[in-house]
Amino acid sequence: MSDLAAFFRLMGAFWVLVRADAVFPRALDPYLPPGARLLARFLRLFAGPQGRRGRPGQRLAVVLERLGPAAIKLGQLLSTRADIFGQTFADDLARLKDQLEPFALEIALGEVAKSLGKPVSDMFSEFGPPVAAASLAQAHPARLLDGRKVAVKILRPGVEHRIRADIRAMTLLARWAERMGPEARRLEPRALVATVARSLELELDLRLEAAGASELGEVMARDPYMRAPQVIWEGVGKRVLTLAWAEGMALSDLAALDQPDMDRPALATNLIRAFLAQALDHGVFHADLHEGNLFVASPDRLVAVDYGIIGRLGPAERRYLAEILWGFLERDYHRVALVHFQAGYVPTHHSVDAFAQAIRAVGEPIFGHNAEAVSMGRILGQLFEITALFDMRLRPELVLLQKTMVTVEGVARRIDHQHDIWAAAEPVVRRWITRELAPPARIHKLAQDALSILEGLARHAKAPVEPSAVVVETQSTASRLLWFAVGAAVAGAAFMIAALVVR
């Protein structure tokens, strides 16, 4: 029954898109291949009156809002890429970030009282109407009893049901996509949907978002690039989150960048460096950095809100990311290619040199150029062709990272049309490379690995032995002694080298 419901939901969504002429908007006709152009003309025969009113972006925004939270998030991502889809199209989608239809204040007050388990007046002296409404929740200004101004985020009534329906529909669509051939399977549609679904589910518990805001607040405080509002823990429940009021104006407000003494280049640089510092140095990053979630104040201050989607990277992924970025900064394309192979991003039957050549074709035209001189649409198209040529599959564990990189780069372009992403990234990447890959750091890591081996052997030696395992234990004695000797030798050598370096 769930598959049948998902099927009808997908068919209904497709029909809504067709009626609004939002499947293949007329503005895209010059870029479509002949077959797609013919299909677009056929589908327009079924377009309704709404398909002839307004611009393509306006029609798509209306449709995505009707289709629900998952579709709205897609619109938010598209709205950050004016360089690909055009400024007018992006502007028409921009209201999906935080200007959707709000629910009534009376409902919001009821949700707060229910979630916090006490009357609203027991915590707030003032509670105003919503100032921002997004796909999952809306935000209200309020004052605590001690006079502090806060923002109260409240989940939309019934949003959990819509998210579950969206996930079922996306899962069914992913299964269909996998049957379309090798090219579709290369994009790992089911793994992609599972990643997106998990992030959506986590967004439905605002207690987890509070924890994410607290964690990232501590991370951000270590660098000057970005800040997080303080969590007011007594105002946190499953469906309610209270944060200190964010300084400045929402970046989604067209007047935000026109505040007096605003330093646009520094602001764009801070955004890039904040994201990279979070991802590389700490392995945790804000994964929804669109304009609706960023507040700016002169001259270059950034405050991020909405911590529902948090991305995480393990030590290996952080190293691969840093080395790939450093390779591009140094224009060492062979190193970039080699890291891709070491990470398993490119199948080993391909040539490292051939892949380095393909990467050079992408890197050289953009290195040293500012955002205005680079066509990101062309670059993304070229990258997609390269991934197909070298049988590269989508990596589900990197989906949030890649999505955030696309968003952040797009927002930085909007802040400063002359922005140079490489110049912004260089100090943060250099810091990581110097700290993690310099000889002292390598020696320290080697010593840690050796100690781990010794500790593991010690624990194994102390473990009780079952009678049935005596024979196996006897046979493995020589092996364990060998590993102990190796571990001791490695540890000793590492500490000797470290001592020499220190001296």
**pLDDT exceeds cutoff 50 at 492:** no
User: How buried is 439 (Cβ within 10 angstroms: 0-12 exposed, 13-18 middle, 19+ buried)?
Assistant: exposed
Which tokens is 412 given?
């930085």
Other C-beta atoms lying within 10 Å of the C-beta of residue 313? 21
Taking only the tens place, the pLDDT of each residue in 311-338 is 999 999 999 999 988 998 899 999 999 9
Compute the distance between CA of residue 135 and CA of residue 162 in angstroms, rounded to an integer.
11
**pLDDT exceeds cutoff 70 at 186:** no
State mean pLDDT over 75-94: 78
Q: Backbone phi, then psi, for 166, in 5-degree steps?
A: -60, -45
Spacing of C-alpha 165 from chain mean position: 23
Which tokens is 362 given?
């992408």
Compute the distance between CA of residue 339 and CA of residue 38 in angstroms, rounded to an integer.
43
What DSSP string describes 221-271? TTSSS-B-PPB-GGG--SSEEEEEPPSSEETTSTTGGGSTT--HHHHHHHH
Taking only the tens place, the pLDDT of each residue in 20-36 is 777 776 666 666 667 77
Compute the distance between CA of residue 407 and CA of residue 400 in angstroms, rounded to an integer.
10
- Split at pLDDT 50, 70, 90, the class of 3 is confident
State mean pLDDT over 158-182: 82
User: How buried is 250 (Cβ within 10 angstroms: 0-12 exposed, 13-18 middle, 19+ buried)?
Assistant: buried
What value, to the nearest 5°, has the Cα angle with vertex 278 and ends 363 and 310?
105
**pLDDT exceeds cutoff 90 at 170:** no
Cβ–Cβ under 8 Å, residues 257 and 296: yes
- Split at pLDDT 50, 70, 90, the class of 482 is very low
The reported pLDDT for the residue numbered 487 is 45
Write out 322-376 in H/E/C secondary structure.
Answer: HHHHHHHHCCCHHHHHHHHHHHCCCCCCCCHHHHHHHHHHHHHHHCCCCHHHCCH
What DSSP string describes 191-217? HHHHHHHHHHHHTT-HHHHHHHHHHHH
Q: Which residues contact 213 (CB under 8 A, 6 or more apart)?
A: 228, 229, 231, 241, 243, 307
Cis peptide before 141 (omega within 30 of 0): no
Q: Which residues contact 191 (CB under 8 A, 6 or more apart)?
A: 394, 396
Residue 137: left if φ>0, alpha if ψ -120 to 50, beta else—which one? Answer: beta
Cβ–Cβ under 8 Å, residues 127 and 109: yes
Per annotation, catalytic residue among 83, 92, 166, 288? 288
- Which range of 170-179, 192-201, 317-326, 460-469 scores highest in mean pLDDT? It is 317-326
Report which of residues 451 and 146 the model is more confident about.
146
State mean pLDDT over 75-103: 80
The reported pLDDT for the residue numbered 202 is 86
**pLDDT exceeds cutoff 50 at 486:** no
Measured between its terminal Cα atoms, the distance across the chain in Å is 72
- Split at pLDDT 50, 70, 90, the class of 449 is low
Compute the distance between CA of residue 21 and CA of residue 59 in angstroms, rounded to an integer.
8
Compute the distance between CA of residue 306 and CA of residue 210 in angstroms, rounded to an integer.
9
Find, among 128, 126, 141, 115, the residue nearest to 207 by Cα: 115
Across all residues in the chain, what is the average pLDDT?
A: 82
Looking at 328-342, 358-372, 430-444, 456-470, which range is the least confident one? Answer: 456-470
Looking at 105-109, 127-131, 199-203, 366-370, which range is the least confident one? Answer: 366-370
- Split at pLDDT 50, 70, 90, the class of 478 is very low
- The reply to whether 416 belongs to the active site is no
Compute the distance between CA of residue 132 and CA of residue 98 in angstroms, rounded to an integer.
5
